[in-house]
Amino acid sequence: MDQAKRLKLSAIAFTIFWIGGMLWWSGERYPANIIILTICGTIAGYLWYLGMRWAFQRLRLLPLNGDHGRQAPR
C-alpha cells in the first residue's frame, strides 16, 4: 500500500474517531447535534488530511507534483 492511500485511510479513521469522541464528550444525542458534529468532523478530517499531506510532501514521503504513487507513462 502506498503512502497516499495510507494517508487517506488515516484521515478517514481520524474523522470517525473525532466524531465519536465529540458525541461521547457532549453527551447529547439530539439529531441536530449529531448533524453538526458530523459536518464539523468531516471538515476537521479534511483539514487534517491537507495538513498531513503538506507535511509528508515537505519530508519527501509523498511526491511534490501530486502524483501520489502513480508511475509516469513511458
* Residue 73 pLDDT exceeds 60: no
Q: Tell me what pLDDT residue 63 has.
A: 77
Q: What is the pTM of this model?
A: 0.77
* 3 state SS of 18: helix
Where b means 16+ CB within 10 Å and e means fewer, 3-41 reads ebeebeeebeebbeebbeebbeeeeeeeeeeeeebeeeb
Q: Tell me what pLDDT residue 1 has.
A: 77
**Residues 12-28, mean pLDDT to the nearest whole number:** 94
